[in-house]
Amino acid sequence: MTGTPRVVVVHRRTEYDELLARHGTRGQAAFFLGTRGRSIDEVTAVHAQVAEALTAVTNAVPADWGRGRVERADLPRFLFEPDDLVVVVGQDGLVANVAKYLDGQPVLGIDPSPGRNAGVLVRHPAASAADLLHDLARGSATTETRTMVEATADDGQALVALNEVFVGHESHQTARYTLVAGERTEQQASSGVLVSTGTGATGWCRSVWLERHSSLVLPAPSAPQLAWFVREAWPSPATGATLTEGLLADAPLSLTVQSDRLVVFGDGVEDDRLLVSWGQQVVLGRSDRVLRLV
């Protein structure tokens, strides 16, 4: 890396932050939790762990390096630079939240609450931040490439996700469309279509896979393949239910919308979505962008 690095720390408000914003004081928040059989002590303990990890990461950044800090809700408005070093402090899902806004920048995941998170994407303790940041700046850090999935509409709208992309009705009613997978085509009415990467194969995709006792071999996180599932396809005289799962490699999956409006969103974030209407086509496949995970 040439020049002075900039470290961008990504975090999200803790449950304690949210409670204070809603109830105003610690006492009111404690009362609210008490009515639901919970203690404020557990919430403040997690808050303290996150605050401690953020302080440790901030202190690990050399004084002459650039610094940035962004809360999850502000990610759509934050401008990442090509040479940024991105540090995510929080849960695994926060890495997925930020991945769609990056284009090759390395991501260092810091777990502030070991034992509470799965640690699949936030793999490192805060104490290791200083050494790992220096390794990143020198280009000697080991990174793992994670496949991402992309949805592209025929009007130019596009969306990238780390775990999965969902296409369906915005109020989870029946979605109607024509599905094309390779040489096979089927008109369908379903609860929507899910296209997942290997990273997402441990989440929503896996729950669908387990529920239907699928024989598909789900892809590994860095594998180029994607897995796709149609949720609750409804057989009728006009619609079929035989084309409901598969793997994508080079050939994408495509849908032609036959509803007034469907939504496309990634990684469970419904607020960041595409809207497609009758007759539009959506193509889903592997993205050229990847996540570089430390």
Instruction: Please give the pLDDT value at position 202.
Output: 86
Domain residue spans of the chain: 6-142, 147-287
Q: Give tens-digit pLDDT for 174-211.
A: 999 999 999 999 999 999 999 999 999 888 999 999 99
Q: Look at residue 1 and tell me whether its pLDDT is greater than 70.
A: no
On average, the pLDDT of the chain sits at: 93
Q: Look at residue 250 and tell me whether its pLDDT is greater than 70.
A: yes
Q: What is the mean pLDDT of residues 98-121?
A: 90
Q: What is the mean pLDDT of residues 147-151?
A: 96
Q: How far is CA 56 from CA 52, 87, 98, 109, 142, in A?
A: 6, 12, 21, 13, 22
Give just the sign of the alpha carbon dihedral 195, 197, 198, 203: negative
Confidence of residue 118 (pLDDT cuts 50, 70, 90): confident
Instruction: Please give the pLDDT value at position 98.
Output: 94
Q: Look at residue 241 and tell me whether its pLDDT is greater than 80.
A: yes
| Cα–Cα distance measured from residue 263 to residue 286, given in angstroms and rounded to the nearest whole number | 19
At the second CATH level, the architecture of 6-142 is: 3-Layer(aba) Sandwich (3.40)
| Cα–Cα distance measured from residue 194 to residue 239, given in angstroms and rounded to the nearest whole number | 18
Confidence of residue 293 (pLDDT cuts 50, 70, 90): very high
Instruction: Please give the pLDDT value at position 2.
Output: 61
Q: What are phi and psi for residue 34, nearest 5 degrees?
A: -60, -35
Please count the residues of the chain: 294
pTM over 0.85: yes
β 175-181/253-257 pair status? antiparallel
Q: Give tens-digit pLDDT for 33-89.
A: 999 999 999 999 999 999 999 999 999 999 999 999 999 999 989 999 999 999 999
Helix/strand/coil for 288 = strand
Closest CA to 195 of 227, 147, 150: 227
Angle at 245 between CA 243 and CA 250, to 5 degrees: 100
Q: Look at residue 117 and tell me whether its pLDDT is greater than 80.
A: no
Q: What is the mean pLDDT of residues 161-183?
A: 94
Q: Look at residue 212 and tell me whether its pLDDT is greater than 70.
A: yes
At the second CATH level, the architecture of 147-287 is: Sandwich (2.60)
